Structure 1
Amino acid sequence: MDLKLYKRLIRNLANYKGQVFLVLLTSVIVGVLSTTPVPLVKESLDKIFVEKDYFMLKMIPLILIGLYCVKGGLRYFLSCAIYKIGWELVAKIRLDLFMHIHKLPYGFFEKDTTGILMSRVVNDVDAMLLTLTKQVKDALQSAVMFAGLLFWVFYLKWDWALISIFVIPFALIPVITVARKLRHLGRRGQEILADINSTMLESFSGIKIVRAFGLEKLEEKKLDRHNQEFLQVMKKNVKYTELTSPLMEVLGVVAGSVVLWYGGSQVLSGEVTQGTFFAFILGMFMMYDPMRILFKTYTDVQKAIAASERVYSVLDQEPERLRDGKIQISGFKDRIEYKNVSFKYPTRDAMVLKNINLTIHKSDVLAIVGMSGAGKTTLVDLLFKFFIVTEGEILIDGQNINDCNSHSLRDHIALVTQETFLFNDTILANIRLGSPHATHEDILDAAKAAHVDSFIQHLDDGYDTMIGERGVKLSGGQRQRIAIARAILRNSPILVLDEATSALDSESEKLVQDALHRLMEHRTTFVIAHRLSTIKNADRIIVMEHGEIVGSGSHDELLAQCPQYQRCYEMQVMG
């Protein structure tokens, strides 16, 4: 599993081959330069202090200054290059993940909250790539430096070198154990961060309800619970992460003490020069620093791997287009048919729709009524291919919509829902979403048809007014009229109105009903409504109950024949 993840992460660098080569080359040079104090110390002691070489006394300090100036410049270049690659990868993967999520089947969004998905796109991508690129930089420098110092200590005194590296196996076992724990903690930490994001997003989005019901304390407790969970995970994370450094220091001192005793006795007996001894001691203790960084890097990388698992678990989801049909719909000519359609949501066991048979001819207005939970919205959701039918088929002009391209299908349908969704942009931009290439005049005509212009004139910036997140600066009726204007601009042959006038006051409803009647002319329209007064003039009304059609006909026919419709009518008209 780890190897596959590493390969996938490395594949992201394919477009940076030239830069990666420079980074590798620079890392090698920096690593080599970091080892130069070892031979310089040997030469200083043997040549300057023993042999009284004044030329070397002048040269070695200059060489040392020059080497470290070069090393400093290269380290700066290396850091800039590696972080540039890292941030570019963050931007790319974040965009790829965002686009991929938009391509996933509609049912995917039932599994995770918006806050959790935002955490994947923001926190997990950051943790995956920024942590990884930093660790790659540290690992490259430390590995080359370790290899160079290892060469020098073996070159100076191979038997002492064997003693100095004897401690490495004793460090590996705890480091591997710590790495496993950090992988688990990293994964858990990212999950809790997602919960924190989700809690805050929900709380801020529902601020009116929070204030109205005095839920501030409850929301604080909810966030505090997640915060405390995150705090405990981070405390454990620090405890394990910081374990490697003191462990290596202790082991290094143990090995160094043995070499100091054994090597010192050889110096005193004249077998080894003082320069060799001090150069070896310096090289040995310098060697433990990159070794410590390598072990720490290995443990830190586990956090990036944990975040990678979460990111790739989304990227590996099969996009809708892979299961999509290829047929392009060029126009709507005759009829829409539901044939023996049954449906259950992927996350549930019970059937929501049961054996639906229904034919809607072009330009017909079909009204769908029923109590909440009867399956009315699900019936039209299937027409959009938000979900695939469990049994049966839906046909447009005799063509199964499963064989049709989803974008082509949805281009022929306009939607106005009960829960109006507007974006944090201008009124003009929100209407333009119905048809991105529409002219300014077309947008104004749609706005007038939906009676948007009647309240625009009271706004200081007119159509350029920013309406806030989800249109928070507008009233419910104003938001609904903008949504209707968007549907008018779309000019699709099929229209779906899901409680489209539910948020309007009596005056606004009269204006919008007039606009909708003009909009529905020569269009095939599905009207989902609770208020029966709004659908009396429909060509046909169907009554749904528990996912089944229990009545079909005109208003008068249903009043005479359908008990469920009679009950709805009596509840509304007679109180």
Structure 2
Amino acid sequence: MKISDWIDAFRSAEGPPPETLGAFMRWCLSGSWPALWLAAFFSAAAGAMEAGTALILGMVIDATARAGPEAFFAGENIAVLVGAVAFFLIARPLLFGLSASANAIIVQPNVNPLVLSRLHRWTLGQTVGFFDDDFAGRIAQKQMQAARAVTDVVSEAINVVAFALASLAGSILLLFAIDWRVALGFAVWLMAYFAMINWFLPRIRKLAAGRAGARAMVSGQVVDTITNIKTVKLFAHADHEDRAALGAMQTFRARALEFGYLAAGFRFALMAIAGVLPVLLLGGTIMLWQAGQASQGDIVAAGAVAIRIAQMTGWVSFTLMAIYSNIGEIEDGIRTLTPRNRVDDDLDARDLNVPDGEIVLRDLGFAYGRDKGGVQGIDLTIHAGEKLGIVGASGVGKSTLVALLLRLYNAEQGRIEIDGQDITGVTQESLRRNIGMVTQETAMFNRSAHDNIMYGRPDATPEEVIAAAKKAEAHDFILDLVDHKGRTGYAAHLGERGVKLSGGQRQRIALARAILKDAPILVLDEATSALDSEVEASIQAALERVMEGKTVLAIAHRLSTLTEMDRIIVMDDGQIVENGSHDALLAQNGRYAQYWERQSGGFIRTQAAE
């Protein structure tokens, strides 16, 4: 195995991400600890070389003082010189090279995708409500921010903290070898240094979290505006969006300034305390030399240690500041990403088997955690192969009913069965594989037309993709597509959310996707609402072929599209108020009949319009 593969960069984590910092870090890094400890060992070994450097310099100086110029290259000095050359040309470069390689090859390229893939998998499992309640850009920013921050914390902890601690330990041992009083002075300085660090870093951590949150809001605001740029232009609200973005940027600037003031104060305090160390160690060792208790080599060794530690102080302190800043960003990401807003499979969930396609709703209720809204008390049986139309004004629970069937939410009361199987006891993947759906607001990826259609069945052949497009009356316009990179036909990319297509073209591609999927249950949620009458008529035969042998739920405001349904239910205030065929419902002269009479262009008027 190559050393670059010592960490499995895409290994799944066990369980949900914890909501406390230490446990969250362990969750992010689980499975990678042996490689991380090895990298830390190499870094610590390289750090110990710093004290070794001062020790060897001191030995060379003492040997020089004892032998004088004429006898320096004779006798016992040869061993000292050979050891020094071997140390500087072989041992020191080798350990520093191993340390750098471990961090650059094992740690950094693997930890970031390891953490990001785990956070992304977790986020994908959240309910649609989680995404509805936040900016898409902000959620993506939090994922990438947290992954980058965890990577930086790990990398710097290995590259700097382990290195520095080993350097300090070696320096203390060296100074004890010179004189315990010099070592004691160094220990006192270390306590003062750590006290300063202890005062600054928690404050840096807090301000960094605030700055990260403000930065994410800027990203969310900008992405939200760009995502809806056509609406912004149509309503001439560029100035309004500019003000909203500037407001978010002003907040970010204020948080960044707070952080900057503290960082500047930290740097000043750091330089002041770093300047004390050379004076303390060199002055103390010179006094001991004057008293005959230290050698010239001891002065050089103490001076080398003092200068190196003073220089390292700035490096280490700013690294610690960066680590604490990253910890603040990790905690900010934890608050956004770890809350459980999910529909999870049972541990013993099995795959759904759909030999017939009968759907039974038993006392079904769901109100999104509120007292009112959604649906309540729904009892309904949709027989295998039956085509059911669903009618009702906006907000009466039609889409909620479909969302519960797809288990985008768990019902708050009652249950749904498909061919006798409670959908809460089957895997969500198998449930949704058996349900094809075309919605009013059709989702498109910024990928090729071929890839968007093949999303219905990833193992489909190109011939099957084209056949599905032809059935959906999409083949001809796809052949005419050209994107900004010159790709044509089925290879042309559709733009973000399919913006390069008309509403009717998007829905025909969505129909082709559903045709290719060929699931036994089909849901049509205003599937032809974006099509003009001529296009709708041209694909009506294709729709009828698609519906053959399937259990169909069709939501529509254009009632003319439902006249051939086997049965139609009318919903109002989250309940089924009428149930029957088109002719039977007209004969009842109830709510459905009123809708039929009041249609204008085939659509149900809203309550306000009535």
Instruction: Provide the rounded CA distance (Å) in 1 between the counterparts of 2:283 and 2:453.
Output: 83
Which of 333, 337, 349 is residue 356 of structure 2 equivalent to? Answer: 333
1:270, distance to aligned residue in structure 2 (A): 4.5
Which of 261, 265, 276 is residue 298 of structure 2 equivalent to? Answer: 276
CA deviations on 1:388-447 (whole Å, 9 max, x unpaired) are: 111112122233222222222222211000001112222222212212222333322222
Please tell me whether residue 14 in structure 1 is matched to residue 33 in structure 2.
yes
Which of 348, 362, 365 is residue 342 of structure 1 equivalent to? Answer: 365
Q: Which amino acid is the alignment partner of residue 186 of structure 1?
A: A
Equivalent runs, 1:243-258 vs 2, <5 Å:
243-254=265-276, 256-257=278-279
Which of 169, 172, 180 is residue 158 of structure 1 equivalent to? Answer: 180
Residues 266 and 465 of structure 1: CA distance in aligned 2, closer, same or farther (over 3 Å)? closer
Q: CA RMSD in A?
A: 3.0
Instruction: Provide the rounded CA distance (Å) in 2 between the counterparts of 1:462 and 1:493.
Output: 30
Instruction: Provide the rounded CA distance (Å) in 2 between the counterparts of 1:83 and 1:142.
Output: 18
Q: Which amino acid is the alignment partner of residue 508 of structure 2?
A: R
**Quick check: 2:437–2:523 contact (8 Å CA) kept in 1?**
yes
1:538, distance to aligned residue in structure 2 (A): 1.7
The aligned counterpart of 2:225 is: 203
SS of residue in 1 equivalent to 2:68: coil
The aligned counterpart of 1:468 is: 495
Structure 1 residues without counterparts, runs of 5 or longer:
none
The aligned counterpart of 2:99 is: 78
SS of residue in 2 equivalent to 1:34: helix
Instruction: Provide the rounded CA distance (Å) in 2 between the counterparts of 1:357 and 1:223.
Output: 48
Deviates most, 420-429 or 315-324: 315-324
The aligned counterpart of 2:194 is: 172
1:322, distance to aligned residue in structure 2 (A): 3.9
SS of residue in 1 equivalent to 2:99: helix
1:118, distance to aligned residue in structure 2 (A): 0.7
1:44, distance to aligned residue in structure 2 (A): 4.9
Please tell me whether residue 523 in structure 1 is matched to residue 550 in structure 2.
yes
The aligned counterpart of 2:529 is: 502
Instruction: Provide the rounded CA distance (Å) in 2 between the counterparts of 1:183 and 1:128.
Output: 14
Please tell me whether residue 436 in structure 1 is matched to residue 458 in structure 2.
yes
Residues 50 and 227 of structure 1: CA distance in aligned 2, closer, same or farther (over 3 Å)? farther
The aligned counterpart of 1:532 is: 559
Deviates most, 462-471 or 141-150: 462-471
SS of residue in 2 equivalent to 1:221: helix
The aligned counterpart of 1:483 is: 510
Please tell me whether residue 147 in structure 1 is matched to residue 169 in structure 2.
yes
CA deviations on 1:491-527 (whole Å, 9 max, x unpaired) are: 1221100000111122211112222122222221111
**Quick check: 1:153–1:161 contact (8 Å CA) kept in 2?**
yes
Give the alignment's TM-score, normalised by structure 2: 0.85
**Quick check: 2:373–2:573 contact (8 Å CA) kept in 1?**
no
Instruction: Provide the rounded CA distance (Å) in 2 between the counterparts of 1:398 and 1:564.
Output: 32
**Quick check: 2:145–2:330 contact (8 Å CA) kept in 1?**
no
Deviates most, 529-538 or 310-319: 310-319
Equivalent runs, 1:116-127 vs 2, <5 Å:
116-127=138-149
Give the alignment's TM-score, normalised by structure 1: 0.90
1:235, distance to aligned residue in structure 2 (A): 3.1
Which of 240, 248, 252 is residue 226 of structure 1 equivalent to? Answer: 248
Q: Which amino acid is the alignment partner of residue 14 of structure 1?
A: W
Instruction: Provide the rounded CA distance (Å) in 1 between the counterparts of 2:587 and 2:344.
Output: 47
Equivalent runs, 1:407-446 vs 2, <5 Å:
407-446=429-468
Q: Which amino acid is the alignment partner of residue 82 of structure 1?
A: N
Residues 425 and 558 of structure 1: CA distance in aligned 2, closer, same or farther (over 3 Å)? same
Please tell me whether residue 217 in structure 1 is matched to residue 239 in structure 2.
yes
Instruction: Provide the rounded CA distance (Å) in 1 between the counterparts of 2:371 and 2:72.
Output: 85
Residues 349 and 237 of structure 1: CA distance in aligned 2, closer, same or farther (over 3 Å)? farther
Which of 543, 560, 568 is residue 570 of structure 2 equivalent to? Answer: 543
Deviates most, 51-60 or 350-359: 51-60
SS of residue in 2 equivalent to 1:32: helix
The number of residues matched between the two structures is 571
Which of 29, 43, 57 is residue 27 of structure 1 equivalent to? Answer: 43
Alignment identity in percent? 29
1:565, distance to aligned residue in structure 2 (A): 2.8
Instruction: Provide the rounded CA distance (Å) in 2 between the counterparts of 1:180 and 1:234.
Output: 16
1:242, distance to aligned residue in structure 2 (A): 5.2
**Quick check: 1:179–1:302 contact (8 Å CA) kept in 2?**
yes
**Quick check: 1:125–1:311 contact (8 Å CA) kept in 2?**
no
Which of 352, 374, 379 is residue 396 of structure 2 equivalent to? Answer: 374
SS of residue in 2 equivalent to 1:485: helix
Instruction: Provide the rounded CA distance (Å) in 2 between the counterparts of 1:380 and 1:169.
Output: 64
Q: Which amino acid is the alignment partner of residue 196 of structure 1?
A: V
Residues 181 and 252 of structure 1: CA distance in aligned 2, closer, same or farther (over 3 Å)? closer
Instruction: Provide the rounded CA distance (Å) in 1 between the counterparts of 2:223 and 2:146.
Output: 17
Residues 318 and 560 of structure 1: CA distance in aligned 2, closer, same or farther (over 3 Å)? closer
1:257, distance to aligned residue in structure 2 (A): 3.9
Residues 303 and 11 of structure 1: CA distance in aligned 2, closer, same or farther (over 3 Å)? farther
